[in-house]
Structure formats: structure tokens, C-alpha cells
Amino acid sequence: MTDLNSTTIKLQTELHERFNFQQFRPGQQELLQAILAGQNALGVLPTGSGKSLIYQFLAPHLNGLFVIVSPLISLMSDQLARIQAAHLGKAAVLNSRLNVQDRRNILTHLVDYKFLFMAPETLCQPQVLRYLQNITIGLFVVDEAHCISSWGPDFRPDYLRLGQVQQQLQPQVTLALTATATDQVCADIVQQLFAQQSVFIYRASVDRPNLYLRTEFVSSDEEKWQRLQLLLEQRWPTLIYVATRKTAEELALKIAETTKRQVAFYHAGLDNLARQQVQQLFMTDQLDVVVATSAFGMGINKDNVCLLVHYDMPENFENYLQEIGRAGRDEQQALTLIFVSQNDYQRLQTRRQLNQIRPQTVTHFYEQILDETLQNSSGQLAVLKAYQRANFSEADVIATLTKTQEVRELQLQQFWQFLNSTTCLRQQVCDYFDHEPKVIQHDALCCSTSQTQSLSVLLQRLNLPTLVAATTPTVNLLTPTQVWTQLFVNLPDKSSS
């Protein structure tokens, strides 16, 4: 016992000294202790619980390179930027955007690096594996580990090869991380990634008591827009999720034209620098509304989002949970509100059907027959290529696709049922995700639907913290002289004597 306590104190002191945090978030310490004791680990930690802190913390403790596998380029470059800004060790992202020379430079100097981020398909390239096999891998991190499970909504065939790669690389420790995993998905991760090895599992409850959950029923797009305007009257730091890039841009424009809010949009079509800038301005409250699509919301690492709106509905519980997790990271009361609309549900169904890969298309792909669907959809082609890379046979692909499509359909149905339900929303979220769900004591700060309580009454009662007027930004463009004054200390027109 004393041993454990002294370790706890040591870890907490280090946390304070290196990261300036007073205490660990749930799960961080448990996982660190397991890994420091040489155990493999799986952490199911809610969004915003500081998953990346774990491997940042471990940098001085484990020798060798930390290889971090992550599915999205944007995620990797955000984490890379954070590591570089915090000077935690040399770090790089290995991806297809690098030119040949930069790529070779990284691979031939791997020993100089502490962190190397890459997508699973990059990691599985024979050349990359060869370089990695020649050096010590201190930690192998599989981020968004739920992508390994065909029971999860984000299944990626490339993830299936990670188990084998892990055995080839022989890392000292392997850590799998995810924000959303049901029992079934957890079992899949353990089986695929850790086959015969022992593994420490930490599963935090998905419940975040400071998030108020709200379903808002609307019968038309116009009604939705009116309710949103009501929500935007106060200067709450606001994040709005929409389904498509086009909607993100259009809605941001509408908000800019009709409200006094400082708004911008955020989606995969923006280049890195533009995304960075939106994040930065949002972080410092120079922007107070961001309209974003789901794929690129992950980079938004802001503490005081106190209003989170799903203007369009996501496809499942998993995405919903991840996205509402961006609100109230400062532990203050936050409102998460999702619009429930029959129209949106129909649109989602149509989009899904369009994106479904038919068995015939799979056959054409494997027999290399010219297929019109494939010619017109690089998305479907990319999925099939991923299966092929993961050595799936034609029959396996058809079977897996049929299964995942069924799973997705089921997940959508369950989520739609949740949205239309009248019982405690929080209880349902916990029941869906948690291994041993607790019984929620529903109260005035828990949840509601628009059918039992009006929005204006709710807003009055929640009394969310608004941004103080002193930080009200100006959007007027500055003149060159004004900009030079802010940028540089020694101005050209001043004599430098």
C-alpha cells in the first residue's frame, strides 16, 4: 500500500511540475501506473479527458521511440503541434503529404525522434516497418482503437493489421486508447490487438455531470434556424456541429449576417494553417461561435465551450458522445442541445444508402471490371482498397460490409430511438456505453426535451456564463501601420538610436 501511495505522490508531483496540472483526470493515473509497471493497457476515456497527456507524460520514463497510430491526418498534426510547442521531444508526422526527401530524412534519423505519428496504412508499408524494426520502440500507441472493431461505427480494415505489426515491432509497452467503446467493441480491441497478452483495462464512465443534455424537436429547417438564433443571443462560447462542409459555410455566413457574433467555420476542406487560426482565435475567445463538421472537430481543444449544438444529427451514439464531449471541459455547467427533425433523419438515411457499397461493386473491384460506381466514387474505392491491403478476400469483404452495414443501421435506429425518447437521456447514454452503468439521479440540471420544457425557460434556469464584454473582439481590418505596430517592437518609422 505504501508503495502505491508513494508512486501516486510522485506521479502527481511530476504532473504539477511538468504540466502544471493539479490533479490527474480519471483514468490517467491508473493507466500510467500500469504502463510504468510494464503492462499493456487499454484506456476507454471520455473525449477531453486528456488521452494524449498519457504518452506525453511517459516520454522521459520509457526509452525508445513512441509510435502513435491515429486515423486522421488532422488529429496527428494537431497533436504534433502541441508536442512541438511544449518541447517534449523531437516529433514528426509520417504521411503521404511529405516529399520523398523529408520522408527519407525522418526514416533514416528515427533514433533522434521521440514521437512519430502515422496512419495505420503508412505504418504497414514494408519500408516503414523495416526502419522501425531496427530501433527500440518504447511505446506503441493505438489511438481511436475502436476503429479496429467491426462492431464499431468507424471500422477501418487497416486497423486489423495492427495486431500483427505490434508483434513485429516488439514495443516495450502497447497502449490502446479510445473515447467510445461498448463491451463488444472492447472485447474486439483486446482480441485483435492483444491476442495472447495480458492487458490492463481502464474504463471510465461516459457520464459527464456538468453537461446538460437536451433534445429540441423541430418540424422544419426554418424553425430550427429560429431556435438557433435564440440560442445565439447570449455570448456563450458556442460550437455548432453540422453534417456537411457546405452547411458549415452557409450557416456561418447566415450567422455572420444576422447576429453580432464572431463566427467562423471549420472543416476538412480548410488547409492546416486556416484550421490552426480558427482554433487559436476560438481558444482565445476572439471567435465565439464555430460551425464545424464532425471529422475535424477533434482539433478543437477549448475549455470553456458552454453551448454545444448539433444542428444536424450524427449517425450514432458514438459520434454524439464524442462531440458533446467538447463542451464544458472546464467542469462548468454547459448545455448540449441536439435538434431532432424528421427531415434530417430522412436525409441521413438517403445519404447512407447512397454511400453503401453493393456486393456487385465489390465483385467488380476484385475482378478488375470497369465499374461506374467505383469510377464515380473515390470514397468507395478507398474503402475497398483498404480491405484489399488488409488481405480480405472478396467473400470476406462482402460478408464484412454486409455486417457493418447492418450494425450501422441498427446503431442509427438505436440513436433515433434515444432522440425520440421521453425517459432520462443521461441514463440512456450510460446504459448504452458503460460496463456497469450507474443509476442516474435525474434532476433539474440533468436533461430535458423540448416537449416538456420550453427553450427560453431552460436558458434562464441554466444561467450559463457569458463572455465578459471586455474581450469583445473587433473584426474591422487593420491598416498596415496598425499591424506593424502589433507585430514588431522596432518600427520602421522610429529611429533605432
Backbone angles phi, psi at 357, to 5 degrees: -90, 125
Q: Which stretch binds another protein (CB under 8 A): 35-43, 94-102, 163-171, 462-470?
A: 94-102
> Choosing among another protein, Zn ion, none, which partner's interface includes residue 441 (Cβ < 5 to 8 Å by kind)?
none
Binding status of residue 281 toward another protein by CB under 8 A: yes
Taking the alpha carbons at both ends of the chain, their separation in whole angstroms is 67
Three cell numbers written together for 453: 420544457
> Choosing among another protein, Zn ion, none, which partner's interface includes residue 426 (Cβ < 5 to 8 Å by kind)?
Zn ion
Size of the site for Zn ion (CB under 5 A): 5
Binding status of residue 96 toward another protein by CB under 8 A: no
Residues 241-280 that bind another protein (CB under 8 A): 249, 252-253, 256, 262-265, 270-274, 276-278, 280
Binding status of residue 478 toward another protein by CB under 8 A: yes
- Residue for grid cell 456564463: 465
Binding status of residue 424 toward Zn ion by CB under 5 A: yes
Binding status of residue 378 toward another protein by CB under 8 A: yes
Give just the sign of the alpha carbon dihedral 48, 252, 219, 314.
negative
In the complex with another protein, which residue's Cβ is closer, 38 or 492?
A: 492
Residues 104-163 that bind another protein (CB under 8 A): 105
**CA torsion, ordered 245, 249, 251, 256, to nearest 10 deg:** 160
Beta strand 447-449 pairing with 238-242: unpaired
Q: How far is the CB of 458 from another protein (least distance, A)?
A: 30
> Choosing among Zn ion, another protein, none, which partner's interface includes residue 193 (Cβ < 5 to 8 Å by kind)?
none
Three cell numbers written together for 398: 462482402
> Choosing among Zn ion, another protein, none, which partner's interface includes residue 98 (Cβ < 5 to 8 Å by kind)?
another protein
Q: Which stretch binds Zn ion (CB under 5 A): 41-49, 192-200, 381-389, 421-429?
A: 421-429
Q: Kindly tell me the number of DSSP H helices and DSSP E strands found in the chain.
A: 21, 14
Q: How far is the CB of 128 from another protein (least distance, A)?
A: 17
Q: Which residues pair with 91 in a beta bridge?
A: 115
Binding status of residue 426 toward Zn ion by CB under 5 A: yes
| Neighbour tally for 123: CB within 10 Å | 22
Do residues 328 and 238 touch, judged by C-beta distance below 8 A? no
**How many CA within 13 A on the CB side of residue 189?**
30
Binding status of residue 446 toward Zn ion by CB under 5 A: yes
Size of the site for another protein (CB under 8 A): 50
Do residues 67 and 171 touch, judged by C-beta distance below 8 A? yes
Strand order in the sheet with 40-44: 91-94, 115-118, 65-69, 137-142, 173-178, 40-44, 199-203
Q: How far is the CB of 428 from Zn ion (least distance, A)?
A: 9
In the complex with another protein, which residue's Cβ is closer, 137 or 291?
A: 291
Q: Which stretch binds Zn ion (CB under 5 A): 2-10, 95-103, 369-377, 447-455?
A: 447-455
Strand order in the sheet with 263-266: 263-266, 289-293, 238-242, 307-310, 334-340, 211-217, 447-449
Q: Which residues bind Zn ion (CB under 5 A)?
A: 424, 426, 442, 446-447
Note the residues at the interface with another protein (CB under 8 A). Answer: 77, 81, 84-87, 92, 98-99, 102, 105, 249, 252-253, 256, 262-265, 270-274, 276-278, 280-281, 284, 286-287, 377-378, 475-480, 483-484, 486-492, 496
